[in-house]
Structure 1
Amino acid sequence: MNKITPKLYGKYFNLLALFSKKKAAQKAFEVFSTVRKGRVLPQQQEYLNRAKDQVLEIAGHRLQTYRWPGTKETVLLVHGWESNSFRWRNLIGFLQEANYDIVAFDAPGHGYSSGKNLHLPLYGQCIRKVIETYDPKYLVGHSLGGMAILYTEYNWPNKNVEKIVTIGSPSEFHEILDHYQELLGFNDRVLKAFEAYGLERFGFDIRHFSSSKFVADNHKKGLLFHDELDVLAPFHASEKVHARWKGSRFVRTKGLGHSMHQPEINEQIVAFLEE
């Protein structure tokens, strides 16, 4: 059923586009941005409930934030697609040992935050709001969270942010969209309508949603992690970002997967922040 259902969506979009390409694009975007998992699970509740901080309002959403206080600089942690702030539990332990002030939040549609949909411009607005509220010096993002951080820095650079870490993050939105088209099997008529809808709604050509473009003029220090065998975000994504980001350092791994919760990764992140 999991294989059949996406194809049914694709056939529906193809049919709808014969009558209205814009409606087909709107429906395709709605399905694309719908969050299907990532809410707080029972085994995650106790850990997150102890750290609940403010609820911030932005773009019609209520964002749940978390804080693990420390006496050193503030580090903001930004999770990926269909995840939540619990995914940072291992890194948080290392940061607490180093006595950093740690902040995280659940994106719209994730964790305890409101909503059912998430897209990159919305995530960027949320990150900007959290940065303005907590004034972090360091940003760490996993997967889509890393891409969203770079998008935020590109659109609303913050002079107080000094270092950025991304972990297994995608780079080119057009590659994500190509995968979406392949998964659902919709035709190029729908694809072009989707691209036109994105330009009309967000003012960006699809190919400008690109981390490698976002970092072209970024002069802050960066640390990028990516596993060669990552099946969710292509390894070449971070290679491309590193090539354009003059202040970045690239750590390639093999066999650590997409999540990268391993102690050796967390130790390197803390070491980078302390340089």
Structure 2
Amino acid sequence: MKNLLDKCLPLIYGVYLNSLSLISTKKASEKAFRVLLTPRKGKVGPSQETFLNAAKERRIQIGAITLQAYKWNGEKETILLLHGWESNSFRWHRLIGKLQEENYNIVAFDAPAHGYSSGKLFHVPLFAECTRAVIEIFKPKYIIGHSVGGMTALFSQYNYVESPVVKIVGIGAPSNLSAFMGQFQKKLHLSNKVMQGLDDHFADKYNFDTEEFSLERFAPHLPQQGLLIHDVLDSITPFQGSANIQRNWPNSQLVKTEGLGHSMHQDMVNDHILKFLKA
């Protein structure tokens, strides 16, 4: 029953939004915006509590949002970890173990509307604003981000001239917002009219449309060393996106895997990250 409901709900939302757009494109796009940016998962589960509670560091206020930060103390460089959509800082527990063995100082935080952090909506500009605030507190030299966290890692450093970050790792990161929007349209069967209204809404709210928000466009301006890891069979974020970013990022490298999926928790991935950090 739950699987059937999960399949039907997007279609029901789509019919509703398409119908509403015939009356008011503006109202339909505003509601689509909230549907698109409202996570349904990602809060801390019972099996994750012990690991995260032991590392709680502080609560950080960013406007109306309260972020939960975590810290695993070490004597080497500080690393900031950014999780992805409908996840939380627990997703890093395997990598954190390896980083602790190397004595790195590790920081993470739950994104808005995820984990122990407050908020209802989640999007990259907001995540990037939070990331910059956390960077200013903890001064990490390295950032590692998975999926949307990888996109945020790169975007947060775009035009951040005085950033202390010297290396960035993006794992299975989407390359542009328009591709993500295309997946959203396909899942909900939204009309082009709704999507155009949604694009206009983004432009009004953030001063860029979905075509302009592209890591391929931002990458040439990144002075940091970069490592991109992406699976060619990733069904969530296409591999070609990372290939395009790497081609435009002057000081970066791309590791291609096959059969590891989108989550990328495997030792092979973590070993590539450690090698890059030590180089």
Q: Which segments of 5 or more consecutive residues in structure 1 lack a partner in the other structure?
A: none
Instruction: Kindly provide the CA deviation profile for residues 70-99 of structure 1, in whole angstroms up to 9, marking residues without a partner as x.
Output: 001100000000000000011101111110
How far, CA to CA, are the matches of 1:197 and 1:24 in structure 2?
Answer: 10
Letter in structure 2 aligned against 1:185: H
Query: Do residues 104 (structure 1) and 118 (structure 2) align?
Result: no
Query: Do residues 262 (structure 1) and 242 (structure 2) align?
Result: no
Query: Do residues 145 (structure 1) and 121 (structure 2) align?
Result: no
The percent identity for this pair of structures is 48
Q: Which residue of 1 aligns with 2:18?
A: 14
Alpha-carbon deviation of 1:133?
Answer: 0.8
Size of the aligned set, in residue pairs, is: 275
Q: Which residue of 2 aligns with 1:222?
A: 226
Q: Which residue of 2 aligns with 1:93?
A: 97
Q: Secondary structure at the match of 2:182?
A: helix
Quick check: 2:38–2:121 contact (8 Å CA) kept in 1? yes
Query: Do residues 40 (structure 1) and 53 (structure 2) align?
Result: no
Instruction: Kindly provide the CA deviation profile for residues 209-250 of structure 1, in whole angstroms up to 9, marking residues without a partner as x.
Output: 111112121121000000011111111110110011010010
Q: Which residue of 2 aligns with 1:180?
A: 184
Q: Which residue of 2 aligns with 1:234?
A: 238
1:114-129 to structure 2, matched below 5 A, reads: 114-129=118-133
The alignment's TM-score, normalised by the length of structure 2, stands at 0.96
Quick check: 2:157–2:163 contact (8 Å CA) kept in 1? no
Q: Secondary structure at the match of 1:215?
A: helix
Q: Which residue of 2 aligns with 1:156?
A: 160
Alpha-carbon deviation of 1:156?
Answer: 2.7
RMSD across aligned positions (CA): 1.0
Quick check: 2:42–2:86 contact (8 Å CA) kept in 1? yes
Q: Which residue of 1 aligns with 2:251?
A: 247
Query: Do residues 76 (structure 1) and 88 (structure 2) align?
Result: no
Instruction: Kindly provide the CA deviation profile for residues 5-34 of structure 1, in whole angstroms up to 9, marking residues without a partner as x.
Output: 111111111111122111111000000000
Instruction: Kindly provide the CA deviation profile for residues 133-180 of structure 1, in whole angstroms up to 9, marking residues without a partner as x.
Output: 100000000000000111111143443110000001101110110111
How far, CA to CA, are the matches of 2:108 and 2:115 in structure 1?
Answer: 11
How far, CA to CA, are the matches of 2:224 and 2:20 in structure 1?
Answer: 46
How far, CA to CA, are the matches of 2:239 and 2:176 in structure 1?
Answer: 12
1:4 is matched with which residue: 8, 11, 26? Answer: 8
Q: Which segments of 5 or more consecutive residues in structure 2 lack a partner in the other structure?
A: none
How far, CA to CA, are the matches of 2:15 and 2:276 in structure 1?
Answer: 48
Which stretches of structure 1, 4 residues or longer, exceed 6 Å deviation after superposition? Answer: none
How far, CA to CA, are the matches of 1:4 and 1:87 in structure 2?
Answer: 28
Letter in structure 1 aligned against 2:48: Q
How far, CA to CA, are the matches of 1:204 and 1:94 in structure 2?
Answer: 39
Instruction: Kindly provide the CA deviation profile for residues 40-99 of structure 1, in whole angstroms up to 9, marking residues without a partner as x.
Output: 000000000000001001131000000000001100000000000000011101111110
Q: Secondary structure at the match of 2:6?
A: coil
Q: Secondary structure at the match of 1:82?
A: coil
Quick check: 2:199–2:210 contact (8 Å CA) kept in 1? yes
